[in-house]
Amino acid sequence: MNPSGGLLWHWRAWRSQKLWRSTCEQISIWLEQVHPHSSELILIGASAGWMMSSPWLQKFKKVMVWDIDGLAAPLFRWRHAAALKASGTELVFNRADALVNLGGLLSAHPKACVLFDNLLGQVRFHSLDLDVVSENISNIIRTLKGREWGSLHDTYSGPVDEALSSQNLPAKQMRMQGEPDAEKSDQTWFQKLGAQGEWLDHLTSSVFDTGTVVHHIAWPYRPRYCHWLQAGWTHA
């Protein structure tokens, strides 16, 4: 069972809805600030959309989802299909790895914008060679050149010194990518999270171009283990 998908992931997501509520609310607030130019969305890696905002999806005339998880489609429809039907949004689900031929996918839907939903941070686990991982992520970004796209992904993850909850979850932090004081800002964010021990670098801290507005969101994946999520949107 893959911790980033499959039965284990869905079971954890279902039982963690209360723990993740504040994170989902912050993600929803971020998405409400995103105003895509396109009326079609390519949503990659959304799984069952446990942390996705139905109202934001309703803005589109067509939502095309790609995920390799066999449970993703029925659970995604269970969570979002009624809302999309109410808004007249067409939902198309594809069980496939969109990264295998991302260029071809983009060419087939030239007018659609793209959102990677908690996917790019998982590329870290596709190879033991970190140089290969970095190159794979860079290739994805290069393929998106000239396209309207966004991503919500893990940047770092690791243990915290006390259980995080909706009461002590750090507020969302927003800054421009490439700011001179970014390192100091990151250290402050780590302190807010109560980070301890060694944290995993998901190699996604430089996904967005300098000047992109980037949102940092805390995700208490488990009571004493937190993910630092990064979210941003790039207009073509």
Residues with Cβ within 8 Å of 16's Cβ and at least 6 positions away in sequence, in order, are: 221
- Has residue 177 got a pLDDT over 70? yes
Q: What is the DSSP string of 94-160?
A: EES-TTTTHHHHHHHSTT-EEEEES-GGGGGGS-S-HHHHHHHHHHHHHHTTTS-EEEEEEEEEEEB
Strand (E) or helix (H) holding 185: helix 182-193
β-partners of residue 174 are: 215
Choose among 229, 199, 200, 201: nearest CA to 214.
Answer: 229
Q: Is 204 inside a domain boundary?
A: yes
Q: Is 179 inside a domain boundary?
A: yes
- SS3 of residue 211 by DSSP: coil
pLDDT attached to residue 5? 63
Domain tally, the chain: 1
Q: Is 47 inside a domain boundary?
A: yes
Condensed to tens digits (0 to 9), the pLDDT of residues 1-51 reads: 344 568 888 999 999 999 999 999 999 999 999 999 999 999 999 889 999
Full-model pTM: 0.94
- Has residue 193 got a pLDDT over 90? no
Q: Is 82 inside a domain boundary?
A: yes
Pick the range with the lowest mean pLDDT from 83-92, 127-136, 165-174, 205-214. 165-174
**To the nearest whole percent, how much of the chain has pLDDT over 70?**
97
∠ CA 13-165-184 to the nearest 5 degrees?
105
State mean pLDDT over 170-185: 82
Choose among 64, 117, 118: nearest CA to 94.
Answer: 64
pLDDT attached to residue 4? 52
Q: Is 56 inside a domain boundary?
A: yes
Q: Is 213 inside a domain boundary?
A: yes
Q: Is 98 inside a domain boundary?
A: yes
Q: Is 1 inside a domain boundary?
A: no
What CATH number corresponds to the domain at position 109?
3.40.50
Structural domain containing residue 219: 6-234
Condensed to tens digits (0 to 9), the pLDDT of residues 109-163 reads: 999 999 999 999 999 999 999 999 999 999 999 999 999 999 999 999 999 988 7
State mean pLDDT over 58-71: 96
pLDDT attached to residue 3? 45
pLDDT attached to residue 92? 97
> Mean pLDDT across the chain, nearest whole number?
92
